[in-house]
Amino acid sequence: MLEKEYTKQNLRRLVIQFYTKVLDDELISPVFIGKLGADLAGATWGPHLDTITEFWASFTTGGSTYNGSPFAPHTQLGKLSREMFERWLKLFHETLDETYEPHLTKVLKDRSELIAGNFMRNLRL
Ligand code: HEM
């Protein structure tokens, strides 16, 4: 059943579903596995899942505790490509469509495209 509102609980589910796809993707999984390991339930992924849930909450539910610098870590991941960002977006948008009613997905689709565009520009991709 598709969600009718954003909550931290369903954002957490979105994030887990998204990274499940990411870890299955042959193009971008190596970057995530290299940094955080291959086990989503493992100790290194836990804090990342919390951070990203709060990150998306900051654009949707309010009451977010995220106050990091989203771009900085992406300069330490080896050579990323435009194709990798496009894959990231494809998987994220697919997961949004599987999780929320269509009118709700737009806010995070638009936001993720904007941020990905900024990241690519900052990385000169
Ligand atoms: C090819 C594309 C991408 C790859 C391979 C990637 C990979 C990663 C990895 C491995 C981390 C963890 C870094 C660490 O803990 O040191 C991370 C953190 C993060 N990523 Fe990405 N990412 C990508 C695109 C994006 C995009 C498009 C967004 C947002 C729309 C995003 C948002 C974030 C945020 C918010 C963090 C946490 C930053 C913090 O610790 O405050 N990423 N990413």
E strand residue ranges, 47-96: none
Identify whether 1 is part of a domain: no
2 in any annotated domain: no
User: In a 3-state reduction of DSSP, which class is residue 36?
Assistant: helix
Nearest in space to 95 (alpha carbons), one of 19, 34, 31, 29: 19
Q: Is 88 in the pocket of ligand 1 (CB under 6 A)?
A: yes
- The finding on whether 77 has its CB within 6 A of some atom of ligand 1 is yes
- Tell me the pLDDT band of 21, cut-offs 50, 70 and 90: very high
Domain that holds residue 58: 8-122
Residue 95's CATH number: 1.10.490.10
Four-CA torsion 78, 79, 81, 86, nearest 10 degrees: 0
Total structural domains within the chain = 1
Encode pLDDT of 91-108 as tens digits.
999 999 999 999 999 999
Range 21-42 average pLDDT = 98
Question: For the whole model, what pTM was predicted?
Answer: 0.97
**Which pLDDT score is estimated for 77?**
96
Distance 73 CA to ligand 1 centre (A): 7
